[in-house]
């Protein structure tokens, strides 16, 4: 074989390789959109051909007719087993059923969730899951406004006409270490779609979207003074960040200022804050709603380690900076915008100049909901009378184990002391009394017994 022909063969192979590599990149022209001052590199690069394909996939379906007035008999009165949407009129309830069918199981119809011989039957797991999903959607729209704003979400945001949403995740299978000759790869060097085929750790979701390990790894001082984050942790953070970019179809600069990735919020695009809330929202969706359904799902729906399919940023966004490019679908379904928060059943706190009485939930030593407001007047009096002292007594009910009750009453009293100190009262002015048992009422248990009294003496 001559030298030249060998050379040509190598050159052809190299060229073919280069072409292959290039095919993985994006062919020009692309649209750079400037998002900051010139020369700061604050640009997002869009590929118009990719965007063109995305747009039709992200159109919401036409809404059904507007909801009727919520009048006449309610669904809870007419049907037998309605636990979440009972306040809807029968017509609006049926409008809701037709909509979720179109969003989740258009092929399979009502029978995907229902035993059509008896709609009240909860025998199909899909119905049990759907009921929880309705509550989850309500929670997202009502309590995660810092993320979803007025745009909100419906079942369609994730499902898009599929019973199983296209973008879900499972925990990665543990590494097969053979005879333990290989070290811990930490999920690296196994290019995975979860991290845009990079060699970053392939499960950035378990630590950050299920657990709440710290995502921030940068030190905030010039010299290494105490930042213990490892390179491995930084790689996990980068894995998550590639997922963010891919899910939203944007570059890093959509959320970060090139001048300061990490550190201050100031000077970064507002999307950084939206994303921060999004991370907390996804944890709430997964831990508060989906993981709890593990036993309800059949085995064939579960991942290699037996966990349920969970939500990440792509579940809703599916490649768009806002799901469905910000189409406001949820507003046509008022029943998905709010939920009835369970009343805690506690009496309102007593708030007087010389005395506060605060009530606690069973087994809890935390001032929940309205109860913390009961100290406001007392703190004002203490500020006006610098010589006055305040005595705190914790009461407990007669029901249950005495030693545990006394411990609880003590912790409740300590919690109230901390709240007073946080309100500016010097700890030396607070006197703690011994826990006291209240008279048992007939049931042995009543909310009035679980209280702390703080009195100026």
Contacting ligand HEC within 219-258 (CB under 6 A): 237-238, 241-242, 244-245, 248, 250, 252, 254-256
Q: CA-CA distance, 379 to 195, in Å (whole number)? A: 52
Selected binder of ligand HEC within 58, 89, 92, 105 (CB under 6 A): 105
Interaction of residue 141 with ligand HEC, rule CB under 6 A: no
Interaction of residue 74 with ligand HEC, rule CB under 6 A: no
Q: Which two tokens stand for residue 448?
A: 């009035």
Selected binder of ligand HEC within 42, 44, 140, 392 (CB under 6 A): 140
Selected binder of ligand HEC within 113, 392, 416, 454 (CB under 6 A): 113
Stretch that binds ligand HEC, among 8-16, 96-104, 420-428, 437-445 (CB under 6 A): 96-104
Residues 8-67 contacting ligand HEC, CB under 6 A: none
Q: CA-CA distance, 278 to 264, in Å (whole number)? A: 18
Closest approach, Cβ 266 to ligand HEC, in A, equals 13
Closest approach, Cβ 223 to ligand HEC, in A, equals 17
Nearer to ligand HEC, 180 or 300 (CB): 300
Closest approach, Cβ 93 to ligand HEC, in A, equals 7
Q: Which two tokens stand for residue 227?
A: 């930042």
Closest approach, Cβ 345 to ligand HEC, in A, equals 22
> To which residue do tokens 């085995």 refer?
299
Closest approach, Cβ 15 to ligand HEC, in A, equals 30
Provide the pairing of β-strand 451-456 with 430-432.
unpaired
Q: Cα-flanking dihedrals φ and ψ of residue 316, to 5°?
A: -95, -45
Interaction of residue 102 with ligand HEC, rule CB under 6 A: no
Residues 347-406 contacting ligand HEC, CB under 6 A: none
Q: CA-CA distance, 449 to 397, in Å (whole number)? A: 5
Interaction of residue 430 with ligand HEC, rule CB under 6 A: no
**SS3 sequence of 56-74:** HHCCCCCCCCCCCCCCCCE
Nearer to ligand HEC, 89 or 397 (CB): 89
Q: Cα-flanking dihedrals φ and ψ of residue 451, to 5°?
A: -145, 165
Specify whether the CB–CB gap between 207 and 236 falls below 8 A. Answer: yes
Nearer to ligand HEC, 262 or 348 (CB): 262
Residues 172-201 contacting ligand HEC, CB under 6 A: none
Q: Count other C-beta atoms under 10 Å from residue 449's C-beta.
A: 21
Interaction of residue 311 with ligand HEC, rule CB under 6 A: yes
Selected binder of ligand HEC within 172, 192, 195, 275 (CB under 6 A): 275
Report cis status (omega within 30 of 0) of the bond before 29. Answer: yes
Stretch that binds ligand HEC, among 1-9, 181-189, 261-269, 385-393 (CB under 6 A): 261-269
Closest approach, Cβ 357 to ligand HEC, in A, equals 38
Interaction of residue 329 with ligand HEC, rule CB under 6 A: no
Selected binder of ligand HEC within 317, 412, 417, 450 (CB under 6 A): 317
Interaction of residue 129 with ligand HEC, rule CB under 6 A: yes
Selected binder of ligand HEC within 35, 171, 322, 331 (CB under 6 A): 322
Specify whether the CB–CB gap between 54 and 249 falls below 8 A. Answer: yes
Selected binder of ligand HEC within 193, 216, 259, 341 (CB under 6 A): 216
Interaction of residue 261 with ligand HEC, rule CB under 6 A: yes
User: Could you give the C-alpha distances from 342 to 47, 83, 339, 436, in angstroms and in order?
Assistant: 48, 13, 9, 29
Stretch that binds ligand HEC, among 15-23, 164-172, 178-186, 423-431 (CB under 6 A): 164-172
Stretch that binds ligand HEC, among 58-66, 156-164, 430-438, 441-449 (CB under 6 A): 156-164
Closest approach, Cβ 369 to ligand HEC, in A, equals 25
């Amino acid at each position: 074989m001559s030298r030249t022909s060998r050379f040509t063969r190598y050159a052809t192979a190299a060229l073919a390789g280069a072409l292959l590599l290039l095919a993985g990149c994006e062919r020009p022209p692309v649209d750079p959109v400037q998002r900051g001052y010139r020369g700061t590199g604050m640009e997002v690069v869009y590929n118009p051909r990719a965007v063109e394909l995305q747009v039709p996939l992200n159109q919401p379906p036409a809404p059904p007719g507007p909801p009727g007035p919520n009048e006449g008999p309610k669904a809870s009165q007419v049907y037998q087993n309605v636990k979440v949407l009972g306040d809807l009129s029968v017509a609006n309830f049926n409008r809701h059923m037709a909509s979720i069918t179109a969003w989740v199981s258009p092929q399979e119809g009502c029978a995907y969730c229902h035993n059509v011989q008896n709609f009240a039957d909860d025998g199909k797991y899909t119905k049990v899951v759907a009921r929880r999903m309705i509550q989850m959607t309500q929670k997202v729209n009502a309590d995660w406004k810092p993320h979803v704003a007025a745009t909100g979400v419906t079942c369609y945001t994730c499902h898009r006409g599929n019973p199983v949403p296209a973008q879900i995740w499972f925990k990665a299978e543990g590494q097969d270490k053979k005879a333990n000759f290989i070290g811990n790869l930490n999920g690296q060097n196994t290019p995975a779609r979860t991290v845009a085929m990079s060699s970053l750790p392939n499960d950035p979701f378990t630590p950050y979207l299920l657990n709440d390990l710290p995502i921030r790894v940068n030190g905030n001082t010039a010299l290494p003074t105490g930042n213990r984050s490892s390179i491995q942790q930084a790689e996990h953070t980068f894995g998550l960040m590639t997922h963010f970019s891919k899910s939203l179809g944007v570059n890093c600069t959509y959320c970060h200022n090139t001048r300061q990735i990490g550190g201050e919020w100031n000077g970064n695009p507002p999307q950084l804050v939206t994303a921060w809330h999004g991370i907390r929202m996804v944890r709430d969706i997964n831990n508060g709603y989906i993981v709890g359904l593990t036993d309800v799902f059949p085995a064939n729906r579960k991942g290699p380690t037996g966990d349920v399919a969970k939500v990440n940023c792509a579940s809703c966004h599916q490649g768009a900076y806002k799901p469905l490019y910000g189409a406001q679908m949820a507003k046509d379904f008022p029943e998905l915008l709010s939920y009835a928060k369970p009343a805690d059943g506690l009496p309102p706190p007593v708030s007087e100049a010389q005395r506060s009485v605060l009530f606690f939930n069973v087994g809890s030593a935390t001032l929940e909901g309205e109860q913390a407001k009961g100290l406001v007047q007392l703190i004002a009096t203490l500020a006006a009378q610098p010589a006055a002292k305040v005595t705190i007594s914790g009461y407990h009910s007669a029901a249950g184990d005495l030693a545990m009750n006394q411990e609880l009453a003590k912790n409740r009293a300590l919690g109230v002391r901390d709240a007073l100190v946080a309100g500016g009262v010097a700890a030396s002015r607070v006197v703690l009394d011994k826990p006291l048992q209240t008279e048992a009422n007939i049931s042995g248990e009543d909310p009035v017994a679980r209280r702390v009294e703080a009195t100026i003496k």
